[in-house]
Copies of this chain bind each other. A is one copy, B any other.
Amino acid sequence: MLKPVYLTEDDAVAIIDQRRLPLEVVWLKLRAVSEVAEAIKTLAVRGAPAIGIAAAYGVYIAVKDFTEGYDAFYERFRKAKKLLASTRPTAVNLFWALDRMERVLKENPLLPVHKLVKKLRAEAVKIQEEDLESCIRMGELGAELLPDGARVLTHCNAGALATGGYGTALGVVRKGYEKGRVELVWVDETRPLLQGARLTAWEMEYEGIPYKVVTDNMAGFLMSKGMVDVVIVGADRIAANGDTANKIGTYSLAVLARHHRIPFIVAAPVSTFDLSLSRGADIPIEERNELEVLEFRGVRVTPKGAKAYNPAFDVTPSELISFIVTEKGVIEPPFSKNIEALLRNEDKV
C-alpha cells in the first residue's frame, strides 16, 4: 500500500515529493524539523491527514536526540510545534496531531526524557496507523452509499497521497470499485496546483480504476448531461454545524450537485472536526501566492503586470452536504445534533 509519508528505521521522515508527481517519483528523507516544515509549506507533502502525520513525525525528530531535563525538553518540543503549526492555517488535522503529541508530554511529567522520546515515536507511528485504519473503515462505510455503476466525481486529491495511506474520498472510491460499484471516476483537475490531474489521476492509473480527467469548469456540464451519480470529496476542517472547508472549488461543486439533485458526500476522519468553531465562516482560509494562478507549472500564462487572487480553500455550508462519512459512522442531517452525538460517543470509547 502506498504511504506518502513514513518514519524510516533510522528516524528520517520519508516523503514522496508530491510537487514532482506524476512525471517523477522522488522520495525525500527529511532529518530536521525545519525540513519537515518546509515540505508542508511547499506542498511536497499535502492533504489534511498526511500533513498531520508529517507534523507528528516532525516534532518527534525535533526532540529525539536530546536528553536534557523535562522542562528544557518540553521547551524544545514547544518551539518545534510552533514552527510546524505555522506552516498552513486551514487543515485542522495539523493542530490536532501536534496537540496529541503534546499530550504525551503533558501526561508524563515524571518520565525520564529518553522514555518520553520512545513514547513520542510510538504515538506518531500510531497516528499514522490509526489514520490508515480509519481510511479503510471510511471506505467500507462510504461504499455502502454508492449506487451500482456509480460515476463518481471527485475534486483535488483525497487519496492515499493525502493521508496515512488509502485515502478518504478515494478510499470510498477504492472500496466501491473493489465491490464492483464504481463504473467511472471523473477527476477534476483542480487548478491552480492540479492535485486532481497530477495526483488523483496517478492513483487511479496505479490502481487500474477507470477515470477521466476534466477541467474544473466541466462539472456542471457533466451533471446536466446525467453523467455524474455522486460527488465525493475530502475535508480540511469541519465546524460543529457540519460546514466543511476543503480545496477551492468544492463549494461550487456542492452548489452544482444540489441544483442537479446529486448526492454530495464528504469523507473525513473525526480528527477533521473542529468543535471550537460553531460554523464554517470562522475557519481561516489560506491565501497563497498569486503566481500559482498566473503561471501553469512554471509556464507563465498571463500578461506582464497581471494580478491574481488565490484563496486555497472554500467553505461548503452543511445544508449542501448529503452525508459526512467518518471512521466512526456515517453522519446525516441534521448535522449539528448528529455530529455532537457521534463525537460524544467517540469520547466515551
A interface with B by C-beta (< 8 Å): 22-23, 155, 186, 188-192, 194, 197-198, 201-202, 205, 211-222, 224, 248-249, 251-252, 255-256, 258-259, 293-294, 296-311, 314-315
Contact partners of A304 in chain B: CB under 8 A: 22, 205
Known: A191-B217, A252-B256. 11 other contacts (CB 8 A): A22-B303, A189-B301, A194-B301, A197-B301, A213-B309, A214-B308, A222-B309, A256-B256, A296-B297, A296-B299, A297-B301
Determine whether the beta carbon of A308 is less than 8 Å from that of B213: yes
Instruction: From known contacts A191-B189, A213-B308, infer whether A221 and B248 are also in contact, taking CB-CB under 8 Å.
Output: yes
Instruction: From known contacts A221-B314, A252-B256, infer whether A306 and B205 are also in contact, taking CB-CB under 8 Å.
Output: yes
Chain B min CB distance to A314 (Å): 4
Determine whether the beta carbon of B201 is less than 8 Å from that of A302: yes
Contact partners of A300 in chain B: CB under 8 A: 23
Determine whether the beta carbon of A215 is less than 8 Å from that of B248: yes
Chain B min CB distance to A268 (Å): 20
Determine whether the beta carbon of B213 is less than 8 Å from that of A249: no
Cross-chain contact of A293 among B215, B248, B311 (Cβ < 8 A): B215
- 13 pairs of residues in contact across A and B, judged by CB atoms under 8 Å: A155-B217, A188-B217, A189-B301, A198-B301, A215-B249, A217-B217, A217-B249, A218-B249, A220-B314, A259-B259, A296-B296, A296-B301, A297-B301
Cross-chain contact of A255 among B248, B256, B301, B308 (Cβ < 8 A): B256
Cross-chain contact of A213 among B214, B220, B221, B302 (Cβ < 8 A): B302
Secondary structure dominating the interface of A: mixed
Query: Across chains A and B, which 10 residue pairs bring their CB atoms closest together, nearest first?
Result: A217-B249, A220-B252, A22-B303, A191-B215, A216-B217, A221-B314, A213-B308, A202-B303, A220-B251, A205-B303
Which residue of B has the minimal Cβ distance to A192? B215
Determine whether the beta carbon of B211 is less than 8 Å from that of A307: yes
Contact partners of A258 in chain B: CB under 8 A: 259
Chain B min CB distance to A247 (Å): 8
Chain B min CB distance to A6 (Å): 22
Most chain B beta-carbon contacts within 10 A, residue among A186, A221, A307? A221
Chain B min CB distance to A216 (Å): 4
Contact partners of A256 in chain B: CB under 8 A: 252, 255-256
Determine whether the beta carbon of A299 is less than 8 Å from that of B301: no
Contact partners of A211 in chain B: CB under 8 A: 307
Contact partners of A314 in chain B: CB under 8 A: 218, 220-221, 224
Which residue of B has the minimal Cβ distance to A292? B215
